[in-house]
Amino acid sequence: MTEWGIKINEIDLETIGFALIERSLPVLPETEDNTVKLAGSDGVIDFGSTFGPRVINVTLYCFAQDYHAALAQLAAMMSVHGPQIYVEFHDLPAKRYPVVYSGTLSVQATGSRTINLPLKMNDPWPQSLRDTAVNEYGQGLSYGQGYVYSDYAQFFNAAGTMPVRNEGTLPQSPVIKISGAFTNLTLSDGNKTIVISAISTASDTWEINCEKYTVKKNGINAYGSSNGVFFALNPGATTITVGGAGLAVSLAFVFRYKYLY
């Protein structure tokens, strides 16, 4: 693997006959201004700005002996009817870019082996390659086998606290996985408190999705057992305070880091 290269859905394009020769990756996506013009008044009323999608332009050179077969394979990887496309760049390790094919997969000129690959990130933020779940013990691996000690999962048999680290540069809404026994569980990040008003047994599992605003018990909607509060984890460490009665419960916070660049 060369230092300068590209992967698509974990396939190194060098292995199918393509070399990365140029990449345009904006440091930030373009802003979109939200303003209103009122008749008879100077200027505009500013309702703030948001980031739009991030456009990435990639130029490849095809060195495969069977040129058209390589193009067909690349086209299949870019199909809008296929799975979500994730791009990785060798010189930007530990990050992936969720993209969609946007434009025309064009060859620069007749007989040219240079291909322009237009990509767009509708969600403009790069993600960590792994989510925090892969760092947990108890999956048949031990320390030193690619896993490290994690503070994203913890067992509680009494009220207490646990730190949860967000090593990205953007707030991220976690999926909170809960298994075990409790009565009226509370989870606080210091600003908001999630309350599950229920009795849970040792065999019960709960999932609170703070991005999709859902609460499930054993895979079934249990939003009515919650107080409808969800939180996002800011960059850095957040101390989660756990409360409730009859605690014999495991908590896991699962999310990917997201980055401005």
How much is the pLDDT for 222? 97
Domains within the chain, CATH numbers bracketed: 6-124 (2.40.30.200), 132-254 (2.60.120.860)
For residue 178, give every residue at least 6 positions away whose Cβ sits within 8 Å of its Cβ, in sequence order, or none: 185, 196, 200, 205, 206, 207, 208, 249, 250, 251
Provide φ and ψ at 192, rounded to 5°. -125, 155
Amino acid 123 reads D
Q: Degrees (nearest 5) of the Cα angle 42, 46, 48?
A: 165
Task: Look up residue 60 and give its two tokens.
Answer: 């490849």
How much is the pLDDT for 145? 44
Predicted confidence (pLDDT) per residue in 176-220, tens digit: 999 999 999 999 999 999 999 999 999 999 999 999 999 999 999
- Does this model's pTM top 0.85? no
In the predicted model, residues of the chain with pLDDT beneath 70 are 1-2, 108-111, 134-151
Provide φ and ψ at 83, rounded to 5°. -75, 170
**Can you give the chain as a three-state secondary structure string?**
CCCCCEEECCEEHHHHCEEEEEEECCCCCCEEEEEECCCCCCCCEEEEEEECCEEEEEEEEECCCCHHHHHHHHHHHCCCCCCCEEEEECCCCCEEEEEEECCCCEECCCCCCEEEEEEEECCCCCEECCCHHHHCCCCCCCCCCCCCCCCCEEEECCCEEEEEEECCCCCECCEEEEEEEEEEEEEECCCCEEEEEEEECCCCEEEEECCCCEEEECCEECHHHECCCCCCECCEEEEEEEEEEEEEEEEEEECCCECCC
How much is the pLDDT for 134? 57
